[in-house]
Amino acid sequence: MKIHYDLSNIKTYINRQSHFELNDFVSQFEKNLKRIKKFKEIDSKTKILEVGTGTGWFPILCRKYGIDCEGLEICPQFVEYAKQFGRKHGIEPNIKLGNIEEVDIGKSTYDIIITLSTFEHVERWQKGLMNIYDALKPSGLLYFYSTNKFCLWSGECHIPFYGWLPDRWRYRLRTFSQGEDIMKLGIDFNQFTYPQLQRFFKHIGFSEVMDVFDVIGTDDLIYPTFWKKMLLHVMKQLVILKPLALFLLPGTLFVCKK
C-alpha cells in the first residue's frame, strides 16, 4: 500500500471525530488494557506499539498514564491530527508515519503490539502480521481486533450481510457511497474469519492463540445479568456452540503469545 496525502474520505472522517475529547476514549482504553493485563503485566518498563493509530487516542492515553507506547500510522492526515489532539491535552504522542507491510519495526523490540480495526485495511495483511511477530520480544503479546466476515452487521458499512458480499461488490458499494479515495485508504480489503486468522497466527509461530472467548469475562458484559453470564459460560464450555458464536460475532478478537 502506498502512502497518500490529502484524501477526501479521511478529511470527512476526521471532521466527524473532531468533537470527541480524550476522556471519551478512557473507558475503551481501560477495557483493552484490562484484557491485556490478564495475560501480561504492564509497567513503566513495558514497551508497546500500536499499529494503525487513527486519531491517536491510544498512544496519547498511554503517555498520559506513564506507559511507553509508540504508534505507527500509514495516513499523514491521521498522524498530524493525532499530534494536534495530543498537544491539545498537553501530550506529545510518539507516532511515526509508515506502512506495516514495508516499514522496519525492528526485531524482538516490543513487549506488546496492539492493532484495533486496522488489518481489514491492510492489503498484504500476512506480511504485516509477520512483521509484527518478528518485532515482538520472546513471550511478547499481540492484541488484535478486526472484521468478522459473516457477522450480520459490519462496522465498515451499515447494511446487513455486508461482509458476505464478494470483494468486487463491496468495493463498488463503497466507492459509490464514499468516492474513489476510499480505495486508496479505508476500504476493507479483508473480511476475516476466526478459523482463517487462527490458522495463520499458529502458522507464523505464535505459541498460544486465544480467541474472544478466552479473552473476555463476565466483567466485559454490558449489564451483566445472570442470564448473560450463564450464556457466556455455556458458549465457553460447549464445543458445538462456540464455532457458531464465533461465526456471527461482530469482530475478530485475538490475544496471541509469541
Beta strands in the chain (DSSP E): 47-51, 68-73, 94-97, 110-116, 136-146, 208-211, 252-257
If DSSP states are collapsed to H, E and C, what string results for 145-177? Answer: EECCCCCCECCCCCCECHHHCCHHHHHHHHHHH
Domain boundaries, the chain: 8-217+249-257
> Is CATH 3.40.50.150 the classification given to domain 8-217+249-257?
yes
Tens digit of pLDDT per residue, the chain (258 long)? Answer: 899 999 999 999 999 999 999 999 999 999 999 999 999 999 999 999 999 999 999 999 999 999 999 999 999 999 999 999 999 999 999 999 999 999 999 999 999 999 999 999 999 999 999 999 999 999 999 999 999 999 998 889 989 999 999 999 999 999 999 999 999 999 999 999 999 999 999 999 999 999 998 898 656 666 566 665 666 666 666 667 788 888 888 999 999 999
Return the residue matching grid coordinates 500476512. 126
